[in-house]
Structure 1
Amino acid sequence: MNKDATILIIYSTFGDGHLQVANSLKQTFNDMGYERIHLVDLLAEAHPLWNTLSRFAYLKSTVYCPKLYGLSYHMANSRKQNLWLNQWLHAIGKHKISALIEKWKPDAVIHTFPFLTVPQMSLKRESSMPLTFTVLTDYVLHSRWIHPGTYRYFVATEDLKGEMLRYGVSDKQVVVSGIPVRNPFLKEFILETLFEKYKLNPQRKYLLLAAGAHGVLSNIREQVQTILKGTSFDILLVCGNNGKLAAQMKKTYASEQRIHVFGYVKKMEELMSVSACLVTKAGGITLSEAAVKSLPVVVYRPLPGQEKGNADSLSARGALLIANNLNELSANLVRLEDDGFRQEMARAMGQVREYDAAGTIATNIVREIQQHSFACERVNIQQNRQAVQRYR
Structure 2
Amino acid sequence: MAKKKKIFILYARFGDGHWQAATALRQSFECLGRTEVKLIDLLAESHPVLNEVSRFVYNKSYNLLPQVYGWVYDATKGMKSDSLFANWLHSFGALTLRKLMEQERPDAIIHTFPTLVLPFIARKSGYTIPMYNVVTDFDLHRRWVHPEVDKYYVATEDISVQLSKLGVHSDRIAATGIPIRPTFLNGMNAKSIFARYGLSPERPIALIMAAPNVPCSETAEMCRSLSGKCRAQVIVVCGRNRALYDELSEIFSFEPSVLTLGFVERIDELMAVSSCIVTKPGGLTLSEAIAAQLPILLYRPVPGQELGNARYLESKGAAVICRSVEHLSRSVAELLQVPSRRIAMRNALKFLSKKNASDNIALDIERQLHIMEEASVATASPSDSVLVPT
TM-score range normalised by the length of the shorter chain: over 0.9
In structure 2, C-alpha distance between the alignment counterparts of 1:168 and 1:225, rounded to whole Å = 50
In structure 1, C-alpha distance between the alignment counterparts of 2:167 and 2:325, rounded to whole Å = 41
Deviations 1:154-186 (A, max 9, x none): 001000111111222221111111000012314
TM score, norm. by length of structure 2: 0.94
* Matched letter for residue 199 of structure 1: G
Aligned to 1:318: 317
Task: Map 1:169-184; keep pairs closer than 5 Å.
Answer: 169-184=168-183
Task: Map 1:342-357; keep pairs closer than 5 Å.
Answer: 342-357=342-357
Task: Map 1:41-190; keep pairs closer than 5 Å.
Answer: 41-122=41-122, 124=123, 126-190=125-189
Whether contact under 8 Å (1:237, 1:260) holds in the other structure is yes
In structure 1, C-alpha distance between the alignment counterparts of 2:285 and 2:247, rounded to whole Å = 25
Whether contact under 8 Å (1:208, 1:237) holds in the other structure is yes
- The DSSP-based 3-state class of the residue aligned with 1:202 is coil
Farther off after superposition, 366-375 or 225-234: 225-234
Shift in Å, 1:241: 0.8
Aligned to 1:388: none
Whether contact under 8 Å (2:278, 2:299) holds in the other structure is yes
Over 3 Å counting, the alpha-carbon distance change for 1:217 and 1:183 in structure 2 is farther
- The DSSP-based 3-state class of the residue aligned with 1:354 is coil
- The DSSP-based 3-state class of the residue aligned with 2:340 is helix
* Matched letter for residue 193 of structure 2: L
Shift in Å, 1:348: 1.4
In structure 1, C-alpha distance between the alignment counterparts of 2:147 and 2:367, rounded to whole Å = 21
Whether contact under 8 Å (2:21, 2:179) holds in the other structure is yes
In structure 2, C-alpha distance between the alignment counterparts of 1:360 and 1:217, rounded to whole Å = 36
Identity of aligned residues (%): 36
1:196 paired to 2:210: no
Whether contact under 8 Å (1:318, 1:348) holds in the other structure is yes
Farther off after superposition, 164-173 or 216-225: 216-225
Whether contact under 8 Å (1:66, 1:304) holds in the other structure is yes
In structure 1, C-alpha distance between the alignment counterparts of 2:350 and 2:32, rounded to whole Å = 26
* Matched letter for residue 368 of structure 2: E
- The DSSP-based 3-state class of the residue aligned with 1:314 is helix
Aligned to 1:289: 288
* Matched letter for residue 327 of structure 2: E
* Matched letter for residue 198 of structure 1: Y
Deviations 1:202-245 (A, max 9, x none): 11111000025xx4445322322332343111110000110000
* Matched letter for residue 304 of structure 1: P
In structure 2, C-alpha distance between the alignment counterparts of 1:360 and 1:119, rounded to whole Å = 26
Deviations 1:71-108 (A, max 9, x none): 01011112433222211111110001001111111111
Aligned to 1:373: 373
Shift in Å, 1:346: 1.7
Farther off after superposition, 30-39 or 4-13: 30-39
In structure 1, C-alpha distance between the alignment counterparts of 2:295 and 2:67, rounded to whole Å = 27
Aligned to 1:239: 238
- The DSSP-based 3-state class of the residue aligned with 2:10 is strand
Over 3 Å counting, the alpha-carbon distance change for 1:63 and 1:256 in structure 2 is same
Shift in Å, 1:278: 0.1
Shift in Å, 1:364: 0.9
- The DSSP-based 3-state class of the residue aligned with 1:185 is coil
- The DSSP-based 3-state class of the residue aligned with 1:141 is coil
Aligned to 1:390: none
TM score, norm. by length of structure 1: 0.93
- The DSSP-based 3-state class of the residue aligned with 1:180 is coil
Farther off after superposition, 306-315 or 221-230: 221-230
Whether contact under 8 Å (2:79, 2:143) holds in the other structure is no
* Matched letter for residue 256 of structure 2: Q
Aligned to 1:389: none
Whether contact under 8 Å (1:319, 1:345) holds in the other structure is yes
* Matched letter for residue 220 of structure 1: T
* Matched letter for residue 205 of structure 1: P
In structure 2, C-alpha distance between the alignment counterparts of 1:30 and 1:205, rounded to whole Å = 38
In structure 1, C-alpha distance between the alignment counterparts of 2:341 and 2:78, rounded to whole Å = 39
Aligned to 1:220: 219
In structure 2, stretches of 5+ residues that fail to align are 383-390
Shift in Å, 1:330: 1.7
Deviations 1:338-392 (A, max 9, x none): 2332232122112211110011111110011001111110002xx58xxxxxxxx
In structure 2, C-alpha distance between the alignment counterparts of 1:154 and 1:353, rounded to whole Å = 15
Deviations 1:27-69 (A, max 9, x none): 0000001351100000110011111111111111111111111
* Matched letter for residue 371 of structure 1: I
- The DSSP-based 3-state class of the residue aligned with 1:345 is helix
Aligned to 1:252: 251
Aligned to 1:306: 305
Farther off after superposition, 141-150 or 167-176: 167-176
Shift in Å, 1:3: 5.1
Aligned to 1:341: 341
Aligned length: 379
Deviations 1:185-204 (A, max 9, x none): 14141211111121211111
In structure 1, stretches of 5+ residues that fail to align are 385-392
Aligned to 1:21: 21
Whether contact under 8 Å (1:276, 1:295) holds in the other structure is yes
* Matched letter for residue 304 of structure 2: G
* Matched letter for residue 135 of structure 1: V
* Matched letter for residue 84 of structure 1: L
Aligned to 2:388: none
Whether contact under 8 Å (2:80, 2:86) holds in the other structure is no
Whether contact under 8 Å (2:121, 2:127) holds in the other structure is no
* Matched letter for residue 187 of structure 1: N
- The DSSP-based 3-state class of the residue aligned with 1:37 is strand
